[in-house]
Amino acid sequence: MINKIHVSTTNSKLSAAIPSINLPAGRTCRPDAPCFKKCYAKKGNWRFRNVQKSLSDNLEEYLRDPAFYFHFIAVTTKFSRYVRWHSSGDIVDARYLVGMCDVARENPEVNYLCFTKKFDLVNAYIDGGNAIPENLHIVFSGWDKAFEVDNPHNFPVTYVRLKNEDNGHIPEDAIPCGGKCYECIACWQLQKGQTVYFEEH
């Protein structure tokens, strides 16, 4: 069987120094995601056929053989300092979250970051008596004031400053995204209760 898992190092915001593992936007996202119509992962280079194929291949490889999928990612990222889960896509299911945690535990010197709107998966994992590894930085991804971030465990939260809309839901002390992760790294260092906001793409 040919391995089709793709770990990207071509994201200009992250730079080649920060690998990312990506999945198809929409197919892995919650069905009521408010960002669907404005999703940046459905624009620009993300629409190229080869990029879309790599996203689909990753999802198919996870579904075909989860153990190998996460083993490959652990081996591929073990010498990186920072890694991003899902510049495109989201946590697929509860089993996928367990795999992400296993990867982080296998590579304790690597800092992994994941933005997610799958709040229910993360909350259920913790409510079940589990702990997120300290080097797996989970950040809940908000949107506008109408979108509820169910956050009983006080994870850091991101918001989007929308164009031509009321952005009063963004806390005054929210950290603005500078647009270049490799120069900032703030999101990998967020503490409970902290917030970040991004400009609408």
DSSP letter string over 22-41? ---TTTTS-TT-TTGGG-GG
Given a contact cutoff of 8 angstroms between Cβ atoms, the answer to whether 122 and 96 are in contact is: no
Q: Which segments of the chain have a pLDDT < 70?
A: 1-2, 12, 35-48, 201
CA distance 90 to 26: 9
The stretches of 29-185 forming alpha helices (DSSP H) are 49-64, 66-77, 94-106, 119-127, 181-184
Given a contact cutoff of 8 angstroms between Cβ atoms, the answer to whether 121 and 94 are in contact is: yes
Given a contact cutoff of 8 angstroms between Cβ atoms, the answer to whether 156 and 197 are in contact is: no
Q: What is the dihedral of CA 160, 166, 169, 172, to 10 degrees?
A: 90
pLDDT at position 38 is 63
With a threshold of 0.85, does the pTM exceed it? Answer: yes
pLDDT at position 40 is 57
